[in-house]
Amino acid sequence: MRKSMNRSKFAAIGAGCVMLASAIGQAFAEAPVTNASEWTQAGDFQMMVRKPVQFDRTGERLDELLLKMPKRPASAAPRPSREIPNKFNTDLAPRPQAAVPADYVDAMVSAPTALAPVGNVSVPGPSSDDNAAVVGGRIAPPDITGDVGREFVVAYANLVWTYYDKSGAVVGGPFPGNSFWAGFGGRCESDNSGDPIAIYDHLADRWVFSQFAVDQAPFLQCFAISETNDPAGPYTRYAYEIVPGDFNDYPKIGLWSDGAGQSAYHATFRQFANGQSFSGIDAVAFDRDAMLAGDPAASFVVFRINTNAVPDGIQPAHIDGGPVAPAGSCGLYGAALNNNNNDGYLFWELCTDWNNPANSTFDAKPLLTQGVPPWAASGTVPQPAPGSSLDDLDNFTAYRFSTRFFPGQGMRGVMAHTINAGNNTAGMRWATFDLDNPDAITLDDTGTLGQGDGVHRWMGSATFDQIGNIGIAYSASATNLFPSVRFTGRETTDPAGTLQLEGTCVDGTGVQTGVSRWGDYSTTAVDPVDQCTFWSFQEYVELTGNFQWSTRVCSFSFPSCTGDEPPPPPPGNQPPVADAGGDVTIAARSRGTFDGTGSFDPDGNIVSYSWTTNSGALRLTNTTSASVDFAARRVRTTTTALVTLTVTDNNGATASDTITVTITP
């Protein structure tokens, strides 16, 4: 069974450290409980178990948090523009590639069908100009990510974020990327390092935001989880040091739940010792249920997948829409492996045991090559003059590895990655998988996005709608095409291996100069309400310039997905958690306070408090407040009294916590 969360007397947060529940808005910090020398062997892999180094629950919304952020003077000089080094260019284990003939064309390129997805919203996302205005400098690449919730759409890029309603109207922003952690203290608040991730957890009706804080060691991963489906908070916040001494580069995060013990935010990190030398790619599972409940000691487990970066760009599986995975299904990880014509897909399975995290397991699956046509690397992407050549990052799998459970069909997954579509033109290889048996994953269908027209299509992302159609959005550029955003996909009735005609989200009107960095990633997600509309977050160029990127938020869908299925209801109300404090011993005729401010509601607000006692030896006053005053009466012998706190949330659910009070003469 999972640990009970009906009381929040959390014990033993690291060796010798006992922590009572914190008051709302009060952060705590602890020394790391593990160091890099404390890896333990778990089967074929090394692992470690760790706790957060910092936690709080704000009780404050974004508008209040923004008041705590330092204001940049209007007269302040701009910060120097920064191109983030491409740590992927490590050449740690170069794999010899077969020579590619000049007339090479990928075997899976096919003409598009006559159908086409239908475009809808297309609005500007965060831009380099927003960075300059909000944080005083420019940075490349944008690392654009985003997601769609029940009411709002969020776009989060280096180093700012904005949110919208579903018509595309801006609701708020752009805000600094680290605004989620204003008032948190420590490096998550002070560092706006970027590499952001935005996830709408449709199973909990909450938003999950994360970015790293890596301006200096110790390197941290910061999380902010909204208390409701409003991305403006308030938030539960965590800071994690993934592996002591390692720079947690390129974090990728996915949602996984089987409705029971296999509930985690799975992630991958590309680790660099002291921020310099590559040390390995890690798979990490964070205790999702504990984080959603606001457990200050929410643990995580780390498995080191490899130390030679083969393959690179490993992605955690992400449940995008639909129900939980079948009971007992463990979190998956996947990646495409370009291996000198022995190409295929690798998968791993991480099974968590949150009652005893050290018992969690990690298992590598055989390389999937059956039915997988080989592919070739593509190189860089051109722009019209005077644009620089752009990175295509064709050596790793694109974010996300989206999955979905289809009743009657089982668990399915989709990946996309950049390849050589022909004549050294970048294209997107997509592949769908049957994931029902993790020990025998099979390829369902695959194909290549590339039309032999000289246009490079890359940096894409793909996901499913509720009937199994696939939506893909991506960047497009050529010597005669400004970097733009396009989309396509396939309906379940389309011939195998084919895609439909592409649509245009936005045409670029400029080029990027002096900087090759692009991406490094993008996101496509499905709307959790109609389960049909794809929302995508991509990079393009509007104005020619050295650090002058733009991003776009756009939506599209297929006519065959009508949304006739009723939308999933909001998740059921989670009861509040009552915390009356710890058992205490007091003296007769003493006065004091019992503190219930550690009580909280995981998905709403506590609206009432009620304190009672079973003993006449105690007199309680202010019994409807979060904290209650007491006066102990005179006693002749040691007397025991019970004090009970009952809290009620905004949906009428209640919870109680009782402490024992010992009164001495």
* Residue 94's pLDDT band (cuts 50, 70, 90): low
Q: What is the pLDDT of residue 91?
A: 53
Q: What is the pLDDT of residue 22?
A: 29
Distance CA 155, CA 147 (A): 7
Q: What is the pLDDT of residue 96?
A: 56
Q: What is the pLDDT of residue 558?
A: 97
Mean pLDDT over 179-200 rounds to 96
Question: What single-letter amino acid sits at 165?
Answer: D
Asked if residue 263 lies in contact with residue 238, where contact means CB atoms within 8 angstroms, the answer is no
* 242 belongs to a structural domain: yes
Q: What is the pLDDT of residues 118-132, one digit of tens each?
A: 999 999 999 999 999
* pLDDT beyond 80 at 116: yes
* 29 belongs to a structural domain: no
Distance CA 24, CA 5 (A): 17
Beta strand 654-664 with 584-587 is parallel
Question: What single-letter amino acid sits at 163?
Answer: Y
Q: What is the pLDDT of residues 434-481, one digit of tens each?
A: 999 999 999 999 999 998 899 999 999 999 999 999 999 999 999 999
Shared domain check, 484 and 369: yes
* 75 belongs to a structural domain: no
Q: What is the pLDDT of residue 51?
A: 97
Total-model pTM:
0.84
Question: Which residues 6+ apart lie within 8 Å of 445 measured at CB?
Answer: 431, 432, 496, 497
Q: What is the pLDDT of residue 5?
A: 31
Scan for tokens 């397991």, then name that residue: 361
Question: Which residues 6+ apart lie within 8 Å of 505 measured at CB?
Answer: 119, 122, 473, 484, 485, 486, 487, 536, 538, 552, 554, 556
Q: What is the distance in angstroms between the CA of the first residue and the CA of the last residue of the chain? A: 42
* 113 belongs to a structural domain: yes
* 77 belongs to a structural domain: no
* Residue 569's pLDDT band (cuts 50, 70, 90): low
Question: Which residues 6+ apart lie within 8 Å of 37 measured at CB?
Answer: none
* Residue 89's pLDDT band (cuts 50, 70, 90): low
Shared domain check, 515 and 599: no
Shared domain check, 646 and 518: no
* pLDDT beyond 60 at 10: no
Q: Of 170, 119, 155, give the one whose Cα is nearest residue 538.
A: 155
Specify burial of residue 113 (Cβ count, 10 A radius: 0-12, 13-18, 19+). middle
Shared domain check, 227 and 296: yes
* pLDDT beyond 70 at 60: yes
* pLDDT beyond 80 at 564: no
* 291 belongs to a structural domain: yes
Shared domain check, 546 and 629: no
Shared domain check, 521 and 441: yes
Q: Of 75, 280, 79, give the one whose Cα is nearest residue 192.
A: 79
Shared domain check, 163 and 292: yes
Q: What is the pLDDT of residue 20?
A: 23
Q: Look up the domain containing 238 and give its range.
A: 108-557
φ, ψ dihedrals at 244, nearest 5°: -55, 130
Mean pLDDT over 370-377 rounds to 94
CATH code where residue 331 lies: 2.120.10
Q: Of 558, 543, 545, give the one whose Cα is nearest residue 124.
A: 543
Which H or E run includes 587? strand 584-587
Over the chain, what is the mean pLDDT?
A: 90
Mean pLDDT over 60-85 rounds to 88
Shared domain check, 617 and 530: no
Q: How many residues does the chain have?
A: 665
* Total number of domains in the chain: 2
Shared domain check, 458 and 313: yes
Higher-scoring residue by pLDDT: 78, 515: 515
Q: What percent of the residues of the chain are helix, what percent strand, and what percent coil, each to the nearest 5?
A: 5, 45, 50
* 5 belongs to a structural domain: no
Shared domain check, 541 and 596: no
Mean pLDDT over 364-368 rounds to 96
* 286 belongs to a structural domain: yes
CATH code where residue 636 lies: 2.60.40.10
Shared domain check, 140 and 263: yes
Distance CA 342, CA 65 (A): 52
Q: What is the pLDDT of residues 252-271, one digit of tens each?
A: 999 999 998 899 999 999 99
Mean pLDDT over 305-315 rounds to 92
DSSP readout, 323-389? SPPPTTPPEEEEEEE--TT--EEEEEEEE--TTSGGG-EEEEPPPB-TT---------B--STTPPP
Q: What is the dihedral of CA 121, 118, 156, 287, to 10 degrees?
A: 130
Shared domain check, 539 and 444: yes
Percent above pLDDT 90 for the chain: 79
Least-confidence region, from 360-369, 395-404, 567-576: 567-576
